[in-house]
Structure formats: C-alpha cells, structure tokens
Structure 1
Amino acid sequence: MGIVYIPPENTRYTSENAMSEIEIEFLELQKNSNCIFLLGDFNSRTANEQDFFNISDFEEHLTDFIDVNEFNDIHVLDDLKIPRIRNSSDTVVNTYGRKLIQFCKNNNMYILNGRVGKDRVLGKPTSRSISVVDYILCTANILCKVDDFEVSDFCNLFSDIHAPLCLSLTVNGCNDTQGESEVNNDKNVHIGKWKHEKTIEYKNNIDVDKVNELLLNVMSKYDDISSVDQGTVDSIVSDITTVLLSAAKDTFGVFTKNSKSIGREGNFSNKDWFNKECEKVRQEFRKSRRLYKHYGSNLFKERLRQSEKHYKKSHGREY
C-alpha cells in the first residue's frame, strides 16, 4: 500500500515528474506483490475518463492480430460486476488527471472512486465539494477483496479541504505457516512506556558481553573498510537494535495487543494528555456524526458543527 501526495498544478511546488516518480516506486512494490493499493491526494482531475486500454486505443491495422486483453485485466471488473465506466460528479480533466489515467493504463491500476461500494453511482467530490482529486487505486487481482468504498462527509478535524476516503476490505481466513504466525504474534508484542526513574536499571540491563562483541565486529570492519556495504551496515544496526530492545523489555516489560488494538495504535486514547473530559467530548462528537449521517437534517448538522468545535477545542487545550 502506497500513500501518495502530488503538489497542485501551477504552484511553486509543482513537479512535472511526479507521476514518473510514483511509477518507479510502483514498479519496486510490484517486485514483492501483485496486490497493490495507491491512495492519497493526487491533485488529478480525471472526470470519468477511461482508465484502461480499449481496442479503440490501437491502430486499426493492429486490431486484427492484437488481443487487447493482453494489455489489461478489464475482464476482472466484468467478472466481479464492477462497471467499466466510472461515475464522477467532477467533469473537469486537468494535466495531472491525464497523466494519472495514462499511469493506470500502463500499469493495470483501476480507480475505485465512482466504481465500487457506496460511491459506485455517486462519484462524490473529495475536495471543496466540487472536485475529485483524492483517489484509491488498486491492481485488478485485489478487487475481489474490496468490500466497500465511500467518500465520507468533510470534517475540518481531519483536513482543511479534503473529505476522508473510507475503504473496507474482506479478508478470508488464511492457512498461515507456523513461521508466519510467529511473525504476526511478534508484531503484536509491545514494550512498556519509557520511565525516566528506571534509567539506571535500563543501563544495567544492557548486555555488556553483546556490546563488546558488537564493538569487536565494528572494529574489524573498520580495518577492512572496502568490504563494507549496505548489507553490512544494516546487519550492525539490527544487532544494536536487538541489544537495546532486549534491555528495554527486561526493564519496562512487554504487553500484547490484539489486531483491533493495533489498528488504533495511533489513537489519542494512548496519550497522557487524553483525559476523561477529552473522552466525553469525543463520544459526543462521534454520536453527533452518526446522527447527522443517519438523519441528515439541519438540526443534526448544527449539532455536529458544535460538537466538532468542542472536540477540536478540547484537543488544543489538553495537548
């Protein structure tokens, strides 16, 4: 999964090579997986331009012996009953938009906006309520896992002008090998928070023998610097990290989080400044947002506006 930001056109930050740079990164990702998502602010307006090669894209004299399906996976959309033509409330196509469409055609990437989920028949604006510039793209072989896609209502808590994109995926049970399970379990293990009063204990828990062994290894490389490459440096850094983390585990302890908790690791609830008042204001904001989304009346819209204001204010006061 790649996160994308392309600066707007006609600004001091404009990059003519932005899509080319993204394509290079995409090809690197493709070396390890053929299930890829790219999402973010592309500042590209594409209207409902076709994001795949069609037979009309080829010279007439070539169509007799070229199978257009060799150049795209459009049949996957047909099999999943996903429309080929996207809906879009934005009818403008800009230069970045044309480049994005060409990128999709060249790399068999498909735009989810206006094509799947709740946004299938809408193609809702993602910026300033008028333009579609934020997208989620994916390769064809991951489309079967897309359960829903939605452009949510704008909220200035999360962005100045952009509406959030919500993507839901269906993940089937996998027969993981034991090794893969061990890796997943290890990712769920977290070290306790740093406590300044345990600084001396932490220092004492550092394995001196391991440190001396590392030092000898580094000095031996220094004597033969020509043999040092990126792999050598990465290995040394990894060994140092292991020593420091081992001491931290012994000092501050470890705890596990289930997958749901890991998804919320960046949540404000984990911050020291997030108190009961913040929690109360957040609950009110979420409740107001649900009510407005369900009923949509001006009354609930005003309630949402006020609770959003209070929520934002509480963050500024407590942080």
Structure 2
Amino acid sequence: MQLKNISNESNMSIGCVYIPPENSKYASKDAFEEIEREMVTLRDDEQLCSLIGDFNARTGTLLDFVIPDENLVEVLDENLNDEITDFLYDYQNLISLKIPLKRCSEDKMRPNTQGYKLVEFCKRNNLYITGGRTGSDKGIGKATTKDNSLIDYFIVSSNLFKYIEEYEIIPFDALFSDVHKRIHVKLTTEVTTIEKEKSSHKRKTIKWIEKDKHKFIENIRKNEEKVLDLCNEIESSKKDNHDINRVITSLTNFYSQAAKDSFGTFANKNPIKKKSWGQK
C-alpha cells in the first residue's frame, strides 16, 4: 500500500509480510532478498518505507543499524557526497527524535537464522525495528506470541518515527490468532482535507461492538466445520494460486458475513470527506 503527500514531505509505502518458519517446508532462504528486490522496485528515493507482519525472526537485542568507522570515513572523505553521508549517518535521526538506539526485548532466546537475516536487511536498507523503542512498548520489547517469542515486527524508515503516536502489543486473544498477539500502531500527520461533493450513495460499513462479541463467536462456531474444510483444502494437497485465492476469498466472505449477522451494518449519512490516514 502506498500513501502520498505525507505531511507534504514525502510518500510512504506500507508492506505486509509473512515469512514461513525457517524449519518449515515452505521456508525460503531467499525470502529477505525477494522482499528487498520488491521494495526497491516500488520505492522512490524520497519515500518513507515500513513493513509489518510475521517475520518468524528472533532478533533478541541485535543491532539493526551500523555506526560508520570514523577512520574509514576520513579515508573516503573526498569521495563522499551528501547522499552517501546521509545514508551512513541515518541512525542519527533516531537520536534527534529521542528514539533509543538500544532496543529491549522480552524474548531471551538466542536469535535464530532469520533473526540475523532481518537485522542485516534493516542495516542494508536503513530500516529500524520499532518494538522496544516507542509507544507503550518503549523500554520493554514485549513478546508477540503467547509462547513468549518476539517474531512479529513493525520496521520503519528513521523519519517515520515522528509520525508514530501509538505502538502497543495487545494481549493474546484466541479470537484473532492461535499463537500471535496483535500489534497496534497509530500514525498521525498534519494534512489538508479535501472536501468532496455530497454523494447520494451511502456506503454500508460494519463496526465492531464489544458487547456483541459473543454473537460473533457463536456465528463462527455454528459453521466451524466449514472453516476447517476450507483450511483442509489448502493443507491436503498442493494448490495453485487460483485455488488458494478462491479459498481465501471464501474465508473472507465467511468472516464478513458473521460480522454482519452479529453487528449489523451502518450507513454513513454525512457528506464524504477525503482525509488522509491518521489525521486527527
């Protein structure tokens, strides 16, 4: 996903990531290289970048940045231009924003192979792990699974930290995942509101209603076998992309219908206003 004219400074890309566990039959040793190639292809020079998702990478408190060797910088001084200098000293943006360079983590297990690959990926692309550095997670680095491992991340360009208003690891809830906790991120920026003409079309939306959560759970459980059948379709044999997309669409429709039956739908009766993400 790309967002343009962020605070009149730059554009921003947000990528959602899933990398299978390194011991999985679906694991790929080139996963990070593939993500990097895709990111470089889509990203322009001034674009802020972020990735969020399940990397299945245990990084502990490994450094995700490089401090240049001053002796080497002096030797190369004549060949350094502003662009190279900005790249080498990008980590100083964190210092100026009062973001700690040192991360914290509740995951005390040794980093795994994908953990080392993730921090090297961050170093090559000047991306930084937000966990343990900002929001209510600052100085903590909460585990992102019920097994006390930290394998889910929100990684960002250094200048994106100033737009992070909230960052939190939500307590585990089996309604959303069998293992993972949710990452809550709120980004805020100042933008110009663009008014659009009043539309006669009233888009219907679904809103989560906490007190009716039990209805949602009941509607899912009534058709639990259908969900299991759809999941088994993927697991039972090798499927091509068409089959996988069909199953994912069926699952999406199933959960959407369960939400409609539980919470109903609401029409927006106000004039449509186009506002940028995160605007207060």
Q: Tell me which interval the TM-score lies in, with the shorter structure as reference length.
A: 0.5 to 0.7
Letter in 1 for 2:103: R
In structure 1, which of residues 122, 144, 152 is the aligned counterpart of residue 140 of structure 2?
Answer: 122
Give the 3-state SS of the residue equivalent to 2:95 in structure 1. helix
Letter in 2 for 1:62: L
Cα distance in 1 for residues equivalent to 2:120 and 2:88: 13
In structure 2, which of residues 30, 33, 43 is the aligned counterpart of residue 17 of structure 1?
Answer: 30
**Pairwise CA distance, 1:63:** 4.5
Cα distance in 1 for residues equivalent to 2:29 and 2:207: 38
Deviations 1:254-281 (A, max 9, x none): 2358xxxxxxx5x467xxxxxxxxx5xx
Residues 29 and 131 (structure 1), Cα distance of their counterparts in 2 relative to 1, 3 Å cut = same
Alignment partner, residue 190 of structure 2: 172
Cα distance in 2 for residues equivalent to 1:70 and 1:25: 20
The answer for unaligned runs of 5 or more in structure 2 is 1-13, 78-84, 224-257, 259-280
Alignment partner, residue 169 of structure 2: 151
**Pairwise CA distance, 1:35:** 1.5
2:217 maps to 1:312: yes
Alignment partner, residue 211 of structure 2: 283
Is the contact between residue 87 and residue 126 of structure 2 (CA under 8 Å) also seen in structure 1? no
**Structure of greater Rg:** 1
Q: Which structure features the higher share of strand residues?
A: 2
Alignment partner, residue 242 of structure 1: none
Size of the aligned set, in residue pairs, is 203
Q: Identify which range, 91-100 or 158-167, moves more after superposition.
A: 91-100
Is the contact between residue 122 and residue 128 of structure 2 (CA under 8 Å) also seen in structure 1? yes
Identity of aligned residues (%): 35
Cα distance in 1 for residues equivalent to 2:220 and 2:102: 43
Alignment partner, residue 49 of structure 1: 62
Letter in 1 for 2:125: N
For residues 1-319 of structure 1, the aligned pairs below 5 Å read 1-31=14-44, 34-55=47-68, 58=69, 62-66=72-76, 70-91=87-108, 92-174=110-192, 181=194, 185=196, 254-255=201-202, 265=205, 267=206, 282-283=210-211, 285=213, 311-317=216-222, 319=258
**Pairwise CA distance, 1:64:** 3.2
> Could you say which structure has the greater relative contact order, defined with CA pairs below 8 angstroms and 6 or more residues apart?
2
**Pairwise CA distance, 1:93:** 0.6
Q: Which structure features the higher share of helix residues?
A: 1
Cα distance in 2 for residues equivalent to 1:256 and 1:313: 27
Give the 3-state SS of the residue equivalent to 2:98 in structure 1. coil
Aligned-residue CA RMSD (Å): 2.7
The answer for unaligned runs of 5 or more in structure 1 is 190-252, 258-264, 270-278, 286-306
Residues 61 and 37 (structure 1), Cα distance of their counterparts in 2 relative to 1, 3 Å cut = closer
Deviations 1:141-171 (A, max 9, x none): 2211111211110111111100000001122
Is the contact between residue 87 and residue 122 of structure 1 (CA under 8 Å) also seen in structure 2? yes
Residues 117 and 10 (structure 1), Cα distance of their counterparts in 2 relative to 1, 3 Å cut = same
Deviations 1:98-119 (A, max 9, x none): 1110110000101101110101
